[in-house]
Structure 1
């Protein structure tokens, strides 16, 4: 009887655990789409004259504004808490949008960030105030740009230009999350780190499934 009980535990518990975690992965692997398709980057110019697009990229989008020194701390927080942990993911990028006239300050900031980590995934884009405002409004987030065309919030954009966040359905009593406060290390560490992992995991699983399907043909 004891042997049967032990064997039952050995076989049944792993199965129950698998089903539990499989269910959790299903819920965990999808971060809600809050805005289906935001604006594009065609009207912006890159700091290094390279083409930058949301297409087929998982993007952390930020608006640093024309007084970039006020947002330096935010950039360093993001570099430390989000970028350094995920920059090796090939399709992951940072896009910081600024108005024309901020190029020199952006280059200095990029050089400083480069002393800490490989910054090949950081992109600084410049445009007119109208184009900056237009892109920001396309997010349909409950935030506003300040007089310098800046915000402390950053946003997760998926490969289809969808704004990802929390819609209040993942946990009871949870508030909606459109963006993440880059001035708050706690917000980045306790919320954004997990949400970036969710989106990256989603695409990793999709890629594995695609490769498996191709191999099976």
Structure 2
């Protein structure tokens, strides 16, 4: 029974992954880099479970929630349904919401409200810092928008594993100029039509790179075997 289950998973998962990636309608195989070497989550910031949250090594949806956590619960619902539920199966994908200290209880409430419709909430992360630190962290990304008086914004951004800010820059499918650095969580259409595509693109990008690296390792292993065989043949002939 276990062997059958493993075979089914090996057959189904690649197909499911292909369907997710192939449905992207973005005009490029790669999501443009807007800025590089961006700031990491400060080490003194805390999380709900006291674990250390980092952006490095993860594909991250980064948001700045502010103090109105409960008041903006609709934004979390939109993000959860349109983005998180589609990509939560990828272990290198996470949602990180930056929140002023003192809002831990509100953040925990939001996760409790989302859990019944999502089940696996392990990719949802809240980090808490002082308002001034949050403002400085936000400013470091040099975004066109700004935080409101509650140190929040309805927009989120995509940060890749190397701390590069990713988005749209260049020509769209129609040939028109476009630039998109963030996605509005108030707009379900913005998340569904643009952000979903862009997350698919960046996940596919990393999967292609991983496949390429695996193929290189396989080729190197094969070449090593062939080299050893030739050495053995040469050695026998010399004898």
Matches within 5 A, 1:135-214: 135-171=137-173, 172-214=175-217
Long gaps (5+) in structure 2: 1-24, 221-239
SS in 1 for 2:71: helix
Q: 1:32-57: per-residue Cα shift (whole Å, max 9, x none)?
A: 11111221112311111111111110
Match in the other structure for 2:125: 123
Match in the other structure for 1:39: 39
**RMSD between aligned residues:** 1.6
Distance across 1 between alignment mates of 2:64 and 2:72: 9
Shift of 1:159: 0.4
Aligned residues of 1:37 and 1:161 also touching (Cα < 8 A): yes
Aligned residues of 1:38 and 1:135 also touching (Cα < 8 A): no
Q: 1:73-131: per-residue Cα shift (whole Å, max 9, x none)?
A: 01100000000000111100000000001000000001111111111000000000121
Aligned residues of 1:43 and 1:131 also touching (Cα < 8 A): no
Long gaps (5+) in structure 1: 1-24
Q: 1:162-215: per-residue Cα shift (whole Å, max 9, x none)?
A: 100011334422431010000000100110000000000000001111111111
Match in the other structure for 2:235: none
Distance across 2 between alignment mates of 1:140 and 1:106: 26
Match in the other structure for 1:48: 49
